Amino acid sequence: MAVAAVVIAGMTAGVTIVLAACSSGASDGVPIEELATTTSPPATAAPTTEAAPSDDAVAASDDVPGPVLETVEEVLGGQAAISRPVGDDGSSPPVDDDRVFVLGDSIAESAGPEIYDTIDAQLEALGWTPTIDARAGRTTPEGLEVLERRRDDVHDVVIVLLGHNDAIDPETYRDRLETMVAELADVPLVLLLTNYEFERGRDRMNDELRLVDALHDNVQLVDWDAVAKATDGAIGPDGLHLTRLGAQALAATMAMSLGPAPVQAGP
């Protein structure tokens, strides 16, 4: 699959994306939602704009360290980090609608409006209109139920970060992913984010994500695990859940993978 150009502060197309950092950590087999969350209280979300993105700065932050921006750009700029689906003629997915459905567990929830509210800030600054459905403890089968129930809210782009709460059973996880991708077969762009490998065996689960990505033309794989391992400060003391910086990093990973929203947005 072809690799998309990465848009980042002053490095590509003059677009500025707000980022933060992560550090690796691991539990000893403790389920994700039984780990205590010990992050600091959320800070005020960065201002957003409803205007269409320009060729100048799309989003800006005065408190994001430059080295973090450079680290995430370096990670997501590699071929192993982002695989953008393309047609046989080299064309990009026909994304004409600016609405994005984000599906996840507590990791995505921490970047949602009820906690650090970074996803809205990042994606809206690029012209996207996100709908976030993320809940602590959610498994992949529960995520599929959400997709089926909220099908009217799904348009041209879906972002999925699920699997941390699934047992380490690669074959079963693969079956669940295939069922989910089949449900989204008519969606032009499905972003699957790799799970943060917080315990041994999680790498085998991410291997299944890579296989699903290779087999479906509308799927794009984004290596969130690689971002988490390459940067410092995003993972809290429990070794898994996100700090505010981590929530910024996750949102920026999504924004960097999408780039600016289509000029001709959906209704």
> Cα(219)–Cα(208) distance, rounded to whole angstroms?
13
Task: List, as one string, the DSSP characters of 184-215.
Answer: TTT-SEEEEEPPP--STTHHHHHHHHHHHHHH
Q: 180-201, pLDDT tens digit by residue?
A: 999 999 999 999 999 999 999 9
CB 260 within 8 A of CB 7: yes
Task: List, as one string, the DSSP characters of 92-125.
Answer: PP-----EEEEEESHHHHHTSTTTT-HHHHHHHH
Cut 0.85: pTM above it = no
Q: Could you tell me the fold of the domain covering 32-258?
A: Rossmann fold (3.40.50)
Confidence band of 13 (pLDDT split at 50, 70, 90) = very low
The mean per-residue pLDDT over the stretch 51-73 comes to: 47
pLDDT at 62: 35
The mean per-residue pLDDT over the stretch 124-153 comes to: 96
Q: 216-267, pLDDT tens digit by residue?
A: 999 999 999 999 888 788 898 998 899 888 888 898 889 888 889 987 555 5
Which has more pLDDT, 88 or 96?
96
The angle formed by the CA atoms of residues 178, 229 and 73, to the nearest 5 degrees, is: 90
Q: 139-153, pLDDT tens digit by residue?
A: 999 999 999 999 999
